[in-house]
Amino acid sequence: MDRKDYERPVKKRQRTNGKVLLYSTPWCPWCKRAASYLRKRGVDFEEIDVSRSPAALKEMLRKTGGAAGVPVVDISGTVVRGFDRAAIDRALAAR
């Protein structure tokens, strides 16, 4: 795997306007709850494992101002840190 393999998915995601992105790790229980909540709400989202991609982690850190905790949900540019149902609902309603 080389640098292009890490960066290509990030560049592709940056072009997908309006999609919901869920930054997570496989061992995070709150990430699983966030994914389940989005599915139950019928939200089309992309789950991104930041433990497998340094470029995705860097992208997430840029969006959170350096905060490294997961989950992070990006809803059309509104970033929700942690699994906060009310904040997710507000961001979904505003998009």
- The pTM assigned to this predicted structure is 0.82
pLDDT in tens, 22-81: 999 999 999 999 999 999 999 999 999 999 999 999 999 999 999 999 999 999 999 999
Q: Closest Cα partner for 80 from 12, 34, 18? A: 34
- CATH for 19-94, among 3.40.30.10, 2.40.400.10, 2.30.30.180, 3.40.50.300? 3.40.30.10
**Where are the domains positioned within the chain?**
19-94
Banded model confidence at residue 20, pLDDT cuts 50, 70, 90? very high
Q: Select the more confidently predicted residue: 26 or 3.
A: 26
Banded model confidence at residue 16, pLDDT cuts 50, 70, 90? very low
